[in-house]
A and B are shown apart, each in its own frame.
Chain A
Amino acid sequence: MSISVAFEKARAEGRAVLVGCMPAGFPTVDGSIAAMKAMVEAGVDVIELEIPYSDPVMDGPVIQKASDIALANGVRVADTMRIVEAVAATGAPVVTMTYWNPIEQYGVDRFARDYAAAGGTGLITPDLIPDEAHDWLAASDAHALDRTFLVSPSSTDARLAMTVAHCRGFVYATALMGVTGAREQTSTAAPTLVARVRAVNPDLPVGVGLGVRDGAQAAEVGSFADGVIVGSALIRCVLDAPDEASGLTALRSLSAELAAGVRAVRR
């Protein structure tokens, strides 16, 4: 399964792809699989599986807290493979967001091999820029995995072109100059950044992250981006729930609202 299938399908339907994030092993490995299945059933198109990391500098307090819980409950990087298999079996593509050190310690090529075998589509690497990615460029080529690097409003035209040239699958546009976390308003910088990416490569889908928390915002972002990436708001459903069942109910409800949001605008 390639992630481009999801983008092509959504494009045919005249809408953006809804990407929903969840940390691996949060609150447990089985609990995270149940959460991701619930998200897919409620209309999330692509699962962004986050590998929990002890020092997630790009993430806000919600993801850090969820990651800490997953790590405290003993999740290992190797568990990612089982989760990818289980979620991919639902038919939804899985892309994985990971800080670089866990991959380097697992072994870059070994991770790429195991991850491709499990059915994962590619990696989003928030602290790995193409400049430092030699090993990953080679491993992702060898195992036919997608590569999503981040672009930012502060990226120069030259860096943006260089970064986009190294991406495969989709480009991740960080819409705010800030860390992840649901916000009151999505960024006005986002449409400009998406347009800059399209000017470099009109065929590569652009996902926009950082900030979306409800259906209306999903519709707004979906009006100009190819992918609407939602993290903290979904994770909070599980984090704030008194028990697993009510967490899944909240997760289904928000996922459905977001799915309706991306369908509310024609592109």
Chain B
Amino acid sequence: MTDVLLPDATGHFGPFGGRFIPEALVAALDELDAAYRAAKADPAFVAEFEAMLRDYAGAPSMLYEARRLSAQAGARILLKREDLLHTGAHKVRNVLGQALLTKRMGKRRVIAETGAGQHGVAAATAAAYLDLECVVYMGELDTERQALNVARMRMLGATVIPVANGSRTLKDALNEALRDWVASVDETHYLLGTAAGPHPFPELVRDFVGGIGREARAQSLEKLGGLPDAVAACVGGGSNAIGIFHAFVPDEGVRLYGFEAGGDGVKTGRTAASITAGSKGVLHGARTYVLQDADGQTLESHSISAGLDYPAVGPEHAWLHDTGRAVYEPVDDSEAMAAFQLLCRTEGIIPAIESAHALAGALRIIPALREELGREPVIVVNLSGRGDKDAHTAGEYFGIL
């Protein structure tokens, strides 16, 4: 059974996680770890974080019973409405937590990497809110694909640096942000966007977004008088998924499903499903599942969803997969987009394409779950973000733009 106290003191989830990083970063990570542990134990920090989430970000997000969708799907589906938080996604929880921690450490500058631009916008938001300088690294290709988010970040006062190395996408932005951090660590906090990377980031990010699951669990008990049969989330780096899973991990009766971006399909090789299509390796500071060739060179990932387009996954997901506590399956672009359209039409909710993967996966597991339970299953789906940012991609996909 999974030990909920993981990671261990050196950041390992079984064989996963740890620190595969230059020595030059160890002192900074140790400083961060110590500051985080002190902050976590400080009621004033916890209270300030909770007040920010409540008064500024709009948490707790509601757990919404999607009745028309449920009727069509043959299951009772509840949506955790992270899309309604400030900035439009669960990520605001992580950035507020880390920005507050940055202030506590006496640092005045944050750097961040971003793929679709969502984390960059969230980081720029938190930096503006807490008066921190903010530099965002973004793959050049992504700055072209997500020009509006670049504009948003700049409006919020952040400096956006397009990265022209390698595939010019998220992983290259991450490399560049790490390089900046090695050179500027005294005054800079690296505001990592997902529950991945070297210890203590996977744990720290999980804890900052862990309110998703704690809220959803309490809301389920209140609304349903019990726990759901399953919890579903999309998995790129995996922060929204670990955020909703974590509180449910000890509840053995609650099935946990992580839906990876299948892209064109895992068999085509054009995929971002690191657990399904990848293998154990080391990338960006941690041992985890990685899309890689036989020589350990990272493969380019592909997904219609920029936020899931990442060739690795947070180490705790690797562990939850290996222990069998959570099940990970790929959802292809087309399946995700069908779910996207279904949610638009049945509930009047335009989801982020990322979140549409979670919904598509949930729809897929209903028949087997119904058979297993002998009744209509109750499924909580993490609607991790809203689809405003995807209007262009979806509009083109459906031929209406």
- Interface segment out of the listed B39-47, B50-58, B249-257, B292-300: B292-300
User: CB-defined interface of A51-67 with B at 8 Å, one 1/0 digit per residue?
Assistant: 00111111011001000
Known: A57-B179, A177-B185, A179-B183. A151 touches B296 (CB 8 A): no
Query: Nearest chain B CB to A50's CB is how many angstroms away?
Result: 14
Contact of A152 among B23, B166, B184, B284 (CB under 8 A): B23
Complex contact A151–B23 (CB within 8 A): yes
> Does B269 count as interface, using CB distance less than 8 angstroms?
no
Which residue on chain B has the smallest CB distance to residue A98? Answer: B296
> Does B111 count as interface, using CB distance less than 8 angstroms?
no
Q: How far is the CA of A64 from the CA of B186 in the complex (A)?
A: 25
Chain B residues within an 8 Å CB radius of A128: 20
Chain B residues within an 8 Å CB radius of A156: 27
Complex contact A174–B22 (CB within 8 A): yes
Query: Nearest chain B CB to A86's CB is how many angstroms away?
Result: 20
Chain B residues within an 8 Å CB radius of A54: 166, 297-298
> Does B109 count as interface, using CB distance less than 8 angstroms?
no
A-B contacts at CB below 8 angstroms, number:
110
Known: A131-B10, A154-B185, A178-B183. A101 touches B24 (CB 8 A): no
Known: A55-B171, A55-B283. A177 touches B19 (CB 8 A): no
> Does A126 count as interface, using CB distance less than 8 angstroms?
yes
Q: How far is the CA of A105 from the CA of B186 in the complex (A)?
A: 34
Q: How far is the CA of A152 from the CA of B292 in the complex (A)?
A: 30
Interfacial residues of chain A within 7-66, with CB under 8 A of chain B in the complex: 53-58, 60-61, 64
Interfacial residues of chain B within 71-110, with CB under 8 A of chain A in the complex: none
Complex contact B296–A174 (CB within 8 A): no
Complex contact A179–B20 (CB within 8 A): no
Complex contact A60–B24 (CB within 8 A): no
Known: A101-B290, A102-B296. A132 touches B23 (CB 8 A): no
Known: A57-B175, A102-B297, A156-B27. A68 touches B281 (CB 8 A): no
Instruction: Name the interface size band of chain B.
Output: 20 to 34
Instruction: Name the interface size band of chain A.
Output: 35 or more
Q: How far is the CA of A227 from the CA of B44 in the complex (A)?
A: 51
Known: A54-B297, A68-B166. A104 touches B282 (CB 8 A): yes
Chain B residues within an 8 Å CB radius of A56: 175
User: CB-defined interface of B284-324 with A at 8 Å, one 1/0 digit per residue?
Assistant: 11000010101111100000000000000000000000000
Complex contact B24–A150 (CB within 8 A): yes
Chain A residues within an 8 Å CB radius of B183: 176-179
Contact of B179 among A106, A127, A154, A179 (CB under 8 A): A179
Which residue on chain B has the smallest CB distance to residue A105? Answer: B296
Which residue on chain A has the smallest CB distance to residue B178? Answer: A57
Complex contact A155–B22 (CB within 8 A): no
Complex contact B281–A105 (CB within 8 A): yes
Which residue on chain B has the smallest CB distance to residue A156? Answer: B27
User: CB-defined interface of B15-43 with A at 8 Å, one 1/0 digit per residue?
Assistant: 00011111110111000000000000000
Interfacial residues of chain A within 98-157, with CB under 8 A of chain B in the complex: 100-106, 126-129, 131-132, 149-156
Chain B residues within an 8 Å CB radius of A57: 22, 175, 178-179, 182, 284
Complex contact B296–A106 (CB within 8 A): yes
9 contacts between A and B (CB under 8 A): A55-B166, A101-B282, A101-B283, A127-B282, A129-B21, A154-B28, A155-B26, A155-B27, A177-B185
Closest A-B pairs by Cβ, 5 of them: A105-B296, A178-B183, A101-B296, A152-B24, A154-B27
